[in-house]
Amino acid sequence: MKITIKAARVNKNLSQKEAAKLIGVSKDTVGSWDRGKSMPNSKYIPAIEKVYGVSYKDLIFLPINYGKTVKTKRRDVDERIIKG
């Protein structure tokens, strides 16, 4: 069964701070993994598998910048419509 890295953490009832301590990284690092802002370095994979109780092959990593919205100026949109 495929599962996101955040869901794996939550399923173990671990806060970001608790997971970070067990894995050996900062709370901010775990938060970045959860939000798809970064991916774990390969040296942390064995610890993640052990702490979260899932195989690496079953983890889904969100793409970098997942959910990021791109702001566009209204004038730019209008120019693209006109220029076609």
CA distance 54 to 47: 10
User: 0.85 cut: is pTM over it?
Assistant: no
Which pLDDT belongs to residue 79? 43
For residue 1, what pLDDT band results from cuts at 50, 70 and 90? confident
pLDDT in tens, 20-51: 999 999 999 999 999 888 899 999 999 999 99
- Residue 36, sorted as left (phi over 0), alpha (psi -120 to 50) or beta, turns out to be left
- The rounded distance, in Å, linking the Cα atoms of 73 and 65 is 20
Largest CA distance in the chain: 56
Is residue 34 within 8 A of residue 23, CB to CB? The reply is no
